[in-house]
Amino acid sequence: MVGVIKGQYRARHAITDQDVQAAQRLRRLSFLGYDDGVLDCDAIDPRCTHMLVEEISSGTLVCCFRYLPLENGTEIDRTYSAQFYELSALRAFEGTMVEMGRFCVHPDYHDPDIVRVAWAAMTRYVDENSVDMLFGCSSFLGTDAGAYFDSFAVLRDRHLAPKRWLPKIKAPNVFQFAARLRRKPDLKLAQLRMPPLLRTYLLMGGWVSDHAVVDHELNTLHVFTGLEIRAIPASRKRLLRIMAA
């Protein structure tokens, strides 16, 4: 897949070890808020393709993510998400799947075009490889679930996974928002505090687990997020393909 160039930014695959290490440094900075010279890396990284979004004028890495293709659901247990969620239901998924993970944007950059370019690159990959489902973990910054009660209440009311795919609890520390929350959400506050990546998934018809995993190592709460490509509204598909062109 050739790179995607839109406005000030370009998306391309990591080619060298230095490219991958740059992504790992950005992940550390984005998730933990500081760059102490330590790389954010794990055993999944060597299995993945890494996508970089750079500012063209400066060459600064402003966004990155990684993706792991699966032939179908029988390979679900080798994914990052499977470390935290019991995903046996998804083993029955027959189509091509891609786990998209470690998505992050440089904390000093707030241009929405950055995320648009990242999704354009992923859209092109999905189309070129006939992907049937995207999935991954969508992260809320910090581990205080109370800060996101309104967002979780909206997820409970509107965006839970279909029962046939619903992830079960595996991680030792989780917040079961679908079972525990009884509040009516403030929709404006819920939207404001919803992570941008998750908002994008939901706009395309994505769904989430009924619980959030508390990840103290990365200082996040995350929900399993799935998106069946055939469920994306036609108007949204057109916009994504225009960006990916």
* Residue 244: predicted pLDDT: 79
- Beta-carbon contacts of 110 under 8 Å, excluding residues fewer than 6 positions away, are none
pLDDT band at 171 (very low <50, low <70, confident <90, very high): very high
Output the CA angle 229-135-34, nearest 5 degrees. 135
pLDDT at 1 over 60: no
Q: What percent of the chain has pLDDT over 70?
A: 99
* Residue 204: predicted pLDDT: 94
Q: Which domain holds residue 70?
A: 4-244
In eight-state DSSP terms, residue 89 is G
**Average pLDDT, integer, range 219-229:** 97
pLDDT at 55 over 70: yes
As for how many domains the chain has, the answer is: 1
* Residue 32: predicted pLDDT: 87
pLDDT band at 110 (very low <50, low <70, confident <90, very high): very high
* Residue 76: predicted pLDDT: 98
117, 143, 100, 242 alpha-carbon torsion, rounded to 10°: -30
Say if residues 138 and 201 touch (Cβ distance below 8 Å): yes
| Average of per-residue pLDDT values in the chain | 95
Q: What percent of the chain has pLDDT over 90?
A: 89
pLDDT at 52 over 80: yes
pLDDT band at 12 (very low <50, low <70, confident <90, very high): very high
* Residue 35: predicted pLDDT: 87
Which CATH number fits the domain that encloses residue 194?
Answer: 3.40.630.30
* Residue 2: predicted pLDDT: 52
